[in-house]
Amino acid sequence: MNIRTLAVGVLVTAAFCAVGSTAFAKTRLIVNCFWPPQHFVCQKVLPGWLDAVEEVTEGRVVGNIPPKSVAPPPEQLASVEKGIVDASVQFNGLIGNRVNGALTAMQPFSGNMNGPAMTQAAWETREKFYPDEFDTVELLAQWVITPGQLFSNTDTPIVTVDDFKSRKMWALPGPLANMAKDIGAAVVATPAVKSNEVIANGVVDSHMGLGGDAIQSFQVIPYTKSMTRFTSPVYTTTFSFVINKDKWAEISPEDQEAIRALSQEKVGMVATGLWDSVSADVYSRFDDLGIEVVDADPELEATLIEAAGPTTQAWKDKAKAAGIDADAALDFYRARVKELSK
């Protein structure tokens, strides 16, 4: 073999290897989960989505979930924007300074106990009124979870307005914390994943905003003595699943389309369904767990509804300033929730 033939052979081999490596190149996603590692979002929802993505892209997009969250709950969106992780779930209540439409389903007394109906209504509302709100990342899915409840950690249930005012209460930051303060309760507000630290250590004597799944996941059942039931759930929370724009750009348009097509069903609807089923199971065991269920005095519910007014109005004003028809969006969402729940 002469030198010319050898050189050509080397070039052909190199070209073949380059083509081969490109053909088999994979986009690898680091998907963060801020819940405890045993939570079903970390164990089922996000792994299930990654499996579906790998299948639909024929192995061109794969990923993994770190064993521990790489950022605290308020920093999930920022960690994706900065590329610390490629994708993550953000509790929308912690980014109210960044988004407005995503808070539509979080307006007090707007939901019910049907997570899939609320999730579908929220997704339709987003598509109709604020489809491009997440402009620094790619939004893949959103969902609404089983409503949070009001619980007492003492042997005395919370039934009346005076009962409520007398409490030192843990509450989710945002509308719930604001409403509780307006009525007169002393409030300690932290992300849900920090609730155990406050409740278990006796810092508070009640808590508002956790649902059945959360009091189990965050291990506060042993400190919970009763739940106050309202005719309409006070509050629901929403989440957004987002991916880094640069990482998204690495994925071919065909694979992007396939991933978009499955994400809401594989993340949003699966997540809300699991929340409902886990919460229902916990509520069904209240008798065995020693947790009493009491009905709120109508005056307490009316007082909470009144206290919610300024919160909803403030949200509407901010959303309108951002170019969202807040009145129409909220009316549409509430109407769709009812229709989808029939």
Q: What is the CA radius of gyration of the chain?
A: 23
Q: Which of 70, 71, 54 is nearest to 62 (CA)?
A: 54
C-beta of residue 308 within 8 angstroms of C-beta of residue 108: yes
Q: What percent of the chain has pLDDT over 90?
A: 86
Output the pLDDT for position 25: 67
Domain segments of the chain as ranges: 27-145+237-279, 149-236+288-340
Beta bridge partners of 235: 148
Q: Class of the 27-145+237-279 domain?
A: alpha beta
| Main-chain phi, psi angles of 70, to 5 degrees | -90, -5
- Fold agreement (27-145+237-279, 149-236+288-340): yes
Mean pLDDT for all residues in the chain: 92
The pTM of the full predicted model, rounded to 2 decimals, is 0.86
Q: Which of 112, 50, 122, 89 is nearest to 279 (CA)?
A: 112
C-beta of residue 114 within 8 angstroms of C-beta of residue 341: yes
Amino acid at 341: S
Alpha-carbon distance of 121 to 105, in angstroms, equals: 9
Alpha-carbon distance of 324 to 333, in angstroms, equals: 14
Output the pLDDT for position 217: 87
Q: Which of 192, 190, 186 is nearest to 206 (CA)?
A: 186
In this structure, is the dihedral angle defined by the CA atoms of residues 10, 11, 14 and 19, taken in order, positive or negative? Answer: negative
Q: Which of 78, 70, 86 is nearest to 140 (CA)?
A: 86
Q: Tokens representing 333?
A: 């969402």
The segments of the chain whose pLDDT lies below 70 read 1-25
Q: What is the DSSP string of 87-153?
A: EEEEEGGG-TTT-SGGGGGGSTT---S-HHHHHHHHHHHHHHH-TT---SEEEEEEEE-SPBEEEES
Distance set, CA 286 to CA 62, 113, 228, 231, 325 (Å): 41, 17, 13, 19, 41
- pLDDT one-digit tens code per residue, 243-270: 999 999 999 999 999 999 999 999 999 9
Q: Tokens representing 228?
A: 């106050």
Alpha-carbon distance of 274 to 145, in angstroms, equals: 9
- pLDDT one-digit tens code per residue, 68-107: 999 999 999 999 999 999 999 999 988 988 999 999 999 9
Long-range contacts of 336-339 (CB under 8 A, 24+ apart): 336/117, 336/120, 336/121, 336/124, 336/125, 337/110, 337/111, 337/112, 337/114, 337/117, 337/118, 337/121, 338/112
Output the pLDDT for position 117: 97
Q: Tokens representing 209?
A: 């905003």
For 149-236+288-340, CATH gives 3.40.190.170
Distance set, CA 155 to CA 25, 80, 225 (Å): 61, 44, 6
Output the pLDDT for position 172: 86
Alpha-carbon distance of 48 to 141, in angstroms, equals: 14
Alpha-carbon distance of 71 to 280, in angstroms, equals: 30
Q: What is the DSSP string of 60-85?
A: SEEEE--SS-SS-GGGHHHHHHTTSS
Alpha-carbon distance of 267 to 84, in angstroms, equals: 21
Maximum Cα–Cα distance across the chain? 98
Buried/exposed code over 93-132 (b: 16+ C-beta within 10 A; e: otherwise): bbbbebbbbbbbbbbbbbbbbbbbbbbbbbbebbeebbee
